[in-house]
Structure 1
Amino acid sequence: MRKTHALMQVATELLAEPGGKHYGYDLAKRSGVRSGVLYPMLTRLVDAGWLNDGWEDPTTIEQRRPPRRYYELTEDGTLQLGGLIAEARSDARFASLKERWT
């Protein structure tokens, strides 16, 4: 997968809670990546086997809203994204993201 700023920002947020469920809107807000970039990226990560996706159970929703789609890191995704971040730490192109990795 090609290393981009957006991928590194999303990977950082995903790895902050590796066992948790991540929702697109929240992930966009925390990472600062626009939805038009985020959702195609999430689809590629699912296709690569780095993320699993699913839908919220409608019976557990307390508010009146439709179920949200969630994304969970796979074991392979945790390793692969962690490796990409490790490589990016020594890459000058990603110097502006280093404060997120400390």
Structure 2
Amino acid sequence: MRVTHALVQLAAALMAAPGDRHWGYELSKQSGVRSGAMYPRLTQMLEAGWLTDGWEHKEEAGSRPPRRYYTLTTKGKVELGAVLAAAKQDQRFRGINLGYA
């Protein structure tokens, strides 16, 4: 997968809470990546086996439509950890907050 600013920013947001379910809107806000760049990256991560997805239950959603969530796989944690480790050494990603748990 090509390492871009969008991928690195999404990796940092996902790895900040690697065991949690992540929502698209939340990821966009945390990473600073707009939806037009974010959703294609999430799709690539799903296809690569780095993420799984699902829909929240109606009970959780209440009166609003259910949200689609994304969860890191073990493979995703390893791969995104490697992306972030490499990004820390790359001058192109200097301005991105790469701190994660």
TM exceeding 0.5 = yes
Q: CA RMSD in A?
A: 0.9
Equivalent position of 2:74 in the other structure: 75
Q: Which runs of 5+ in 1 are unaligned?
A: none
Count of residues in correspondence between the two structures: 99
Q: Deviations over 1:30-57 (max 9, x none)?
A: 1100001111110110000000000001
The TM-score, its normalising length taken from structure 1, stands at 0.93
Shift >2 Å, 4+ stretches: 59-62
Query: 2: distance between equivalents of 1:67 and 1:60?
Result: 8
With normalisation by structure 2, the TM-score equals 0.94
d(CA) in 2 for partners of 1:21, 1:82? 17
What's the counterpart of residue 25 of structure 1?
25
Amino acid at match of 2:98: W
Q: Which structure's residues are more often helix, by fraction? A: 1
Counterpart mapping for 1:28-47 below 5 A? 28-47=28-47
Residues 37-88 of structure 1: per-residue CA shift (max 9 Å, x gap): 11111011000000000000112323x1110000000000000000011011
Aligned pairs for 1:1-102 (under 5 A) are: 1-62=1-62, 64-97=63-96, 100-102=97-99
Query: Secondary structure of the equivalent of 1:54?
Result: strand
Taking CA–CA contacts closer than 8 Å with sequence separation of 6 or more, which of the two structures ends up with the larger relative contact order? Answer: 2
Instruction: Give the gaps of 5 or more residues in structure 2.
Output: none
